Amino acid sequence: MTTTGEQSGTHTSGAVRIDPQTVRRTVRPPADDALVTALAATAAAAARRALRGDRPEGTADAAAAPAPPTVPAATTVLADRPDGTVVRVGAVVAKAHAPGTDAAALAIRIAVAAHPLLRGILLPPLPGPPAPGPPAPGPPLPGAAQDPPAGGTGAPGAPGRQGPPGLLVQDGDPRVLATAPLVPPAPDGGAVRGRQVTAWPYGVPVDRHDPGAAPWAEAAVLLARLHTVPAAALGPLPPMRGPAKAALAVARLRGVADSAAGRTVRRAWRRLPAWARDEAPHPGPAALCHGDLHLGQLVRHPAPDGDWLLIDVDDLGTGPAAWDLARPAMWFAAGLLAPDAWAVFLAAYRAAGGPAVPESGDPWGQLDVPARALAVQTAAIGVAKAARDGRELDEAESELVATCARIAQLGPS
């Protein structure tokens, strides 16, 4: 459920005190108002750090710095779903990741988003609070060099050491080079109400009310660039979570009443190979993948008219590059995406050197299994949601169940 709202607050010496009682929303409130309030405070704190240039509060440098502009008190709840709650305060967004998120894997994914190799592809996170003194030694972030031996100086411009929590700085240079900013907005050090929290700059999303302006070509180019990043240069990476999310979506059907639509979805699921059901490793080559590509994963940054960038790295990792093309491919195959839009997307991906499909000819040898898996995943989500809401399937959900019926009639992929 996506909600919008405003929240007022008062300002004291540049700080923001947010009153949860002033929240107004256009639809039902999120399940946890305390979480929304904590996220708003996290976003405001990140904005103050950015305006201060990451000088710790209370230091002489911070005291001598010009007072930052007042942080806006207006708060917008951009998303409130089981897989993430996102709150905006001014130019900063704070996200509470899904309960049970693997903190170590998330830190790696966010460090990748901040890596120089991903500049201009992924929206970089905002840095976490600076360490209060010399940073303690820690494991290197992806692509980070270890500290040089005693007496050594290290390579010019090479990252030097990691400060808590995941702050990577260069010796003698306070600039943030890369970060895994699990922002600690509460004394428990990185989690709010048991949820991992990160902070990001705000970007303008795709206008869902103007489908003619959908940036399909730009999305395709970003994917091609992402897929050609040398994953080995980033260090050990977690697997892309696409198949795991598909399996979770199908598992949702066990929590709702049995139905013909649900049985159809499960039959289609059984036709997929084990790797697409997250039951075995993918047998082919792996690339750096986004894992959950759709137009809601693009923003313009800097707002309002900067370049398009990919957001939401919760599912990022190594896997089959074709998975990132599977959702638009599935929409096209199901009749939910115009042929012209699909042609633009595919042509732009190929022209940018994307490795997921051949440079010319039929792309479906690579796209068929991932597209089927995304069709089953999306249908499962729709069937489960309709059952929970006590309603009939809508037109798009019905089309996806019909697609599953066709998949179920085919031989194993």
Annotate 316-348 with three-state secondary structure.
Answer: CEEECCCHHHHHHHHHHHCCCCCHHHHHHHHHH
- Could you tell me the residue ranges of all domains in the chain? 5-136+184-202, 211-409
Q: What pLDDT, in 10s, does the model give residues 190-236?
A: 567 788 999 999 999 999 899 889 999 999 999 999 999 999 999 99
- Three-state DSSP at 58 gives coil
* Residue 379 pLDDT greater than 60, yes or no: yes
Query: Is the Cβ–Cβ distance between 11 and 73 less than 8 Å?
Result: yes
The per-residue pLDDT for 413 is: 65
pLDDT of residue 103: 92
What is the CATH topology of the domain spanning 211-409? Aminoglycoside 3'-phosphotransferase; Chain: A, domain 2 (3.90.1200)
For residue 363, what are the contacts with CB-CB under 8 A and spacing of at least 6? Answer: 325, 329, 346, 357
User: Which residue bears the tokens 């190594």?
Assistant: 318
Model confidence pLDDT, tens digit, residues 316-334 = 999 999 999 999 999 999 8
Per residue in 81-121, pLDDT (tens digit) is 888 999 999 899 999 999 999 999 999 999 999 999 999 99
pLDDT at 67 over 80: no
Q: What is the pLDDT of residue 133?
A: 52
Per-residue confidence (pLDDT) for residue 289, from 0 to 100: 98
The pLDDT value recorded for residue 82 is 80
Is 356:315 a contact under the CB 8 Å cutoff? no
Q: What is the pLDDT of residue 118?
A: 98
Question: Pick the residue with more confidence: 3 or 318?
Answer: 318
**CA distances (Å), 351 to each of 26, 223, 253, 354, 364, in order?**
43, 12, 40, 7, 17
Q: Which residue's structure tokens are 């979506």?
A: 249
The amino acid that residue 6 corresponds to is E
Q: What's the whole-number average pLDDT of the chain?
A: 79
d(CA 365, CA 374): 16
Give 176's contacts (C-beta < 8 A, 6+ positions apart). Answer: 54, 114, 127, 167, 168, 169
* pTM exceeding the 0.85 threshold for the entire prediction: no
Give the model's pLDDT for residue 316: 98
Cβ atoms within 10 Å, residue 341: 17
Q: Give me the sign of the Cα torsion angle 130, 174, 140, 150.
A: negative
CA distances from 240 to 15, 289, 365, 367, 372 (A): 39, 6, 21, 16, 17
What's the half-sphere exposure (Cβ side, CA atoms, 13 Å) at 249? 23
pLDDT band at 158 (very low <50, low <70, confident <90, very high): very low
pLDDT at 333 (0 to 100): 92
Q: Which of 251, 226, 225 is nearest to 240 (CA)?
A: 226
Query: How far, in Å, CA of 172 to CA of 184, rounded?
Result: 25
Share of the chain above pLDDT 70, in %: 72
pLDDT in tens, 115-153: 999 999 999 999 876 655 554 444 444 444 443 333 333
Nearest to 204 by CA among 125, 301, 120, 297: 301
> Cβ distance 233 to 143 under 8 Å?
yes
**How many C-beta atoms surround the C-beta of residue 260 within 10 A?**
10
Residue 176 has pLDDT above 80, yes or no: no
Residues 368-399 as b/e (b if ≥16 CB within 10 A, e otherwise) read bbbbbbbbbbbbbbbbbebbeeeeebeeebeb
Here the tokens at position 284 are: 């082919």
Q: Which two tokens stand for residue 41?
A: 């405070």
Please answer whether residues 357 and 329 qualify as being in contact, where contact means their C-beta atoms are separated by less than 8 angstroms: no
Residue 39: closest CA among 185, 167, 210, 158:
185
Give 360's contacts (C-beta < 8 A, 6+ positions apart).
350
- Which pLDDT band holds residue 182 (cuts at 50, 70, 90)? very low
Question: What type of residue sits at position 369?
Answer: V
What confidence tier does 73 reach under pLDDT thresholds 50, 70, 90? low
Token representation of residue 290:
């986004």
**pLDDT per residue as tens digits for the range 229-285:** 999 999 999 999 999 999 999 999 999 999 999 999 999 999 999 999 999 999 999
Identify the pLDDT of residue 107. Answer: 94
